[in-house]
Amino acid sequence: MGMHTDTERCVRAVRSKDARFDGWFFTAVLTTGIYCRPSCPVVPPKPENMVFHPSAAACQQAGFRACKRCRPDTSPGSPEWNHRADLVARAMRLIADGVVDREGVPGLAARLGYSTRQVERQLLAELGAGPLALARAQRAQTARLLVETTGLPMADIAFAAGFSSVRTFNDTVREVFALSPSDLRTRAAPRNAPPSAAPGALSLRLPFRSPLNPDNLFGHLAATAVPGVEEWLPHSPDGVGGAPVGAYRRTLRLPYGHGIAALAPHPDHIACRLTLTDPRDLTVAISRCRRLLDLDADPVAVDDQLRTDPVLAPLVDKAPGRRVPRTADEAEFAVRAVLGQQVSTAAARTHAARLVTAHGTPVDDPEGGLTHLFPSPGELAALDPGTLALPRTRRATLTTLVRRLADGDLHLGAESDWADTRASLLALPGVGPWTADVIAMRALGDPDAFLPTDLGVRRAARELGLPSTPAALTARAETWRPWRAYAVQYLWATDSHPINFLPV
């Protein structure tokens, strides 16, 4: 059962205004008819007037409106969906990716391999709301963001947020926020005026649970950036919040078009600017940026577990809150993982850049040096292996992987079962444990993926006095479960490799 069933613990969190629990549960107040996040700044209600729900959608289903002070609809996502691979967790990841809006509940169920009735029953049992209600809550949040931070006409916002009609949009906004869309825009105008940005760009803040150490997160993305697809700008472009450091930028392949995301770390949020060719991709783009930066993680739970090992404890205490740098495109990362087998970071970037130049889709980027979308499996399926400057065996591995992805025989996405997908990867010629596990860690988001054969991990293990053979290190790492992917970040951080440092 979820945390919302532990009334005493929930009351303590609300009384202490503990922001760590934002997104874990929501507080509905019987006397006012509103629902809040645990850290709401208002005076906490009496315990007998509080009921707790596992999702914003469940609160809305029960007739409660979102608090205007704490804006519970903008809480970080529940970390439950990050460390689980069961049906409910995979469904929630797909809903966040906009699948219900694009394909309906039957499409969601088909991706999961279950009947619609089974999906609805399990979501309702755990979250107090079915897939349609959960998707509706997400549409309301997207609509609010567009209303408050853009000057788009309300009709355009309605369809961009995924509503089927302007009337449904108006009714939902009034029901959820107790304000009309126009009133929302009027109230937000003085404090939420977006900074100057290029036409068509949307600036927003991505919340996270503290602490967040940006060094290895942005350092890894910048050090491994594929030219033309990704870049690090030393100074944040206008509209990315004036961060004291620079911004990571990349192109995004999205359901209705493409986009460019610029992401910059701040102490209490990630400044994000999105430029989209189709506003209907906003929800998906936000979801993929959050997944890329692992923003829904629970760093306190992770670090508390890793601190139980006396060898890891000093590393955690020195720089807590490390995240796992992930990806905005699972298939792209799988291709890059194969290109990176047994070569340096620089060589892997060079191989990937050649693929991008030869097969990627060109894009315009007036603000930087982004030139292409990374080629899709379909675009790579026809490539001539002889044009690849790779050993013959690795060429065969790459072409087999691309063909399996393009044919749909191999699925890498939010709906993937981690164990089954890892087994499917290992069945491919030339894909060994390191490749399968790094894909599981960074593409699939498995928080317990481990890399005992990785050279950086083994070097760190030797320096720290940990077993350095894969079998012995894996046995020692049992106490780090279910957070071994995060332990890898702390082990990597003992090295002076550029992936561990923010670029200057």
Task: Yes or no: say if 370 and 231 are a contact pair by the CB < 8 Å rule.
Answer: yes
Q: What is the pLDDT of residue 310?
A: 97
Q: What is the pLDDT of residue 190?
A: 53
Which run of H or of E encompasses 52? strand 50-53
How many helices (H) and strands (E) the chain has is answered by: 22, 11
Provide mean pLDDT across the span 86-100: 89
| pLDDT tens readout for residues 362-416 | 999 988 899 999 999 999 988 888 888 888 999 999 999 999 999 999 999 888 8
| pLDDT tens readout for residues 427-446 | 999 999 999 999 999 999 99
Q: Annotated active-site positions, please?
A: 36, 454
Q: What is the pLDDT of residue 18?
A: 79
The three state secondary structure string of 72-120 is: HHHCCCCHHHCCCCCHHHHHHHHHHCCHHHHHHHHHHHHHHCCCHHHHH
How far apart are the C-alpha atoms of 485 and 487, rounded to whole Å? 5
Q: At which residue do the structure tokens 């460019």 appear?
A: 260
Share of residues in the chain with pLDDT > 70 (%): 95
Task: Yes or no: say if 25 and 10 are a contact pair by the CB < 8 Å rule.
Answer: yes
Share of residues in the chain with pLDDT > 90 (%): 64
> Count of residues for the chain?
504
Structure tokens that stand for 358 in this block: 């030869």
Position with higher pLDDT, 90 vs 149: 90
| pLDDT tens readout for residues 34-45 | 999 999 999 999
Q: Would you place residue 343 in the very low, low, confident or very high pLDDT band (cuts 50, 70, 90)?
A: confident
Q: What is the pLDDT of residue 416?
A: 87
Structure tokens that stand for 359 in this block: 């097969």
Structure tokens that stand for 450 in this block: 């481990």
Angle between helices 484-492 and 455-464 (to 10 degrees): 80
Q: What is the pLDDT of residue 236?
A: 63
SS3 state at 121: helix
| pLDDT tens readout for residues 206-256 | 989 999 999 999 999 999 999 999 999 987 665 565 555 689 999 999 999
Other CB atoms within a 10 A radius of the CB of residue 113 amount to 12
Q: What is the pLDDT of residue 316?
A: 97
Provide mean pLDDT across the span 475-499: 95
Provide mean pLDDT across the span 156-184: 90
Q: What is the pLDDT of residue 193?
A: 46
Structure tokens that stand for 204 in this block: 């927003």
Domains in the chain and their CATH numbers?
3-75 (3.40.10.10), 82-149+151-192 (1.10.10.60), 330-500 (1.10.340.30)
Angle subtended at Cα 496 by Cα 321 and Cα 347, rounded to the nearest 5 degrees: 105
Q: Is the bond preceding residue 195 a cis peptide, omega within 30 degrees?
A: no
**What is the average pLDDT score of the chain?**
90
Angle subtended at Cα 417 by Cα 411 and Cα 421, rounded to the nearest 5 degrees: 50
How far apart are the C-alpha atoms of 54 and 78, rounded to whole Å? 9
For residue 137, give the nearest of 80, 193, 77 by alpha carbon: 77
Q: Kind of pairing, strands 270-276 and 201-206?
A: antiparallel
SS3 state at 25: strand
